[in-house]
């Protein structure tokens, strides 16, 4: 592939205003393109290429990994939890790939706004559906409390989804998921105190999952490291790419916790305190 076949890339000041969200990435912006032009941008270097491929490759790996490592035959009626878990893992990279690939579409801010909403829907699904197997397993011995927590988490998820889609800054989008994170921490606390149930060893995976996701969000908000040296990280190792890598590892940690929890719940090899 010859470098000269790629279109002329733009500087930050030459891009449309809706794409000027990171003033520390100075070069490498794609010009407004047709749908085909956006797809062809997979084959030349620009400042979104890393973002597209990090989540694109992760999506391909997840499509193979998830069906092979979830013990569907042992789950029985719990297969619905395995299905929601798959959707929670696949939605963020899928939405992200579409957003980053087509964000320079010639449709302008109208198309961009909808792509951003699609990207945030993927994050929202990960936060909303990803917690269901963990809550189900942790509160197995407390069915009424489990129902209350699931209803509360559902209401908070609806609120988070609305705020995430309508937010106008990275910090506002990160804050949109705050109450969901607090609820998960409360459930983690129940589990850590020994009141809750679940597979041994799953809780550290969940804690690493949330810690990595939070770290990625904070790095993205702080624009590190590109804010330290504008222009030096235009193509590689900027904050958004770091967030993408951390989000992939976070999803893998979620999967590492959910699979043993699903097996634990399916095997019924536990005794509730009230029993």
Residues at the binding site for Zn(2+) are 100, 240, 244
Q: Mean pLDDT score of the chain, rounded to an integer? A: 93
End-to-end CA distance of the chain: 67
| pLDDT for 269 | 65
**pLDDT for 271:** 74
pLDDT tier at 126 (50, 70, 90 boundaries)? very high
Q: pTM for the whole thing?
A: 0.94
Bigger pLDDT: 197 or 224? Answer: 224
Residue boundaries of the structural domains of the chain: 36-267
Q: Residue 146 — φ and ψ, nearest 5°?
A: -60, -45
Mean pLDDT value across residues 96-116: 97
- Residue 123's pLDDT is what? 97
Q: What is the DSSP string of 218-242?
A: HHHHHTTTTTTSTTTTSSSS-HHHH
pLDDT at 46: 98
Beta partners for 29?
A: 10
The total of other beta-carbon atoms located within 10 Å of residue 17's CB is 8
Q: Specify binding-site residues.
A: 100, 240, 244
In this predicted model, which residue has the larger pLDDT, 67 or 26?
26
Percent of the chain with pLDDT over 90: 84
């Amino acid at each position: 592939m010859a470098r000269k076949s790629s279109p002329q890339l733009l500087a930050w000041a030459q891009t449309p205003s809706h794409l000027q969200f990171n003033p520390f990435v100075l070069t490498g912006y794609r010009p407004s393109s047709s749908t085909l032009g956006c797809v062809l941008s997979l084959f030349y270097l620009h400042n979104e290429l890393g973002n597209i491929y990090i989540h694109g490759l992760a999506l391909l790996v997840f499509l193979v990994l998830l069906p092979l490592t979830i013990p569907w035959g042992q789950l029985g009626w719990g297969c619905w939890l395995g299905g929601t878990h798959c959707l929670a893992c696949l939605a963020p990279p899928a939405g992200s790939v579409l957003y980053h690939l087509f964000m320079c579409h010639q449709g302008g801010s109208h198309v961009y706004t909808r792509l951003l909403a699609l990207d945030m829907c993927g994050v929202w699904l990960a936060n909303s559906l990803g917690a269901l197997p963990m809550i189900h397993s942790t509160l197995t011995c407390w069915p009424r409390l489990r129902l209350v927590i699931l209803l509360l988490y559902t209401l908070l998820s609806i609120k988070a989804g609305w705020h995430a889609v309508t937010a106008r800054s990275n910090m506002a989008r990160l804050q949109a998921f705050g109450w969901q994170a607090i609820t998960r921490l409360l459930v983690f606390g129940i589990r850590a105190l020994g009141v809750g149930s679940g597979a041994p060893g799953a809780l550290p995976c969940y804690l690493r999952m949330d810690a990595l996701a939070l770290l990625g969000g904070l790095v993205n908000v702080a624009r590190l490291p590109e804010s330290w040296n504008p222009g030096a990280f235009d193509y590689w190792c900027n904050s958004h790419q770091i967030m993408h890598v951390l989000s992939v590892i976070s999803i893998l940690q979620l999967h590492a916790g959910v699979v043993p929890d699903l097996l634990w719940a399916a095997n019924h090899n536990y005794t509730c305190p009230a029993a």
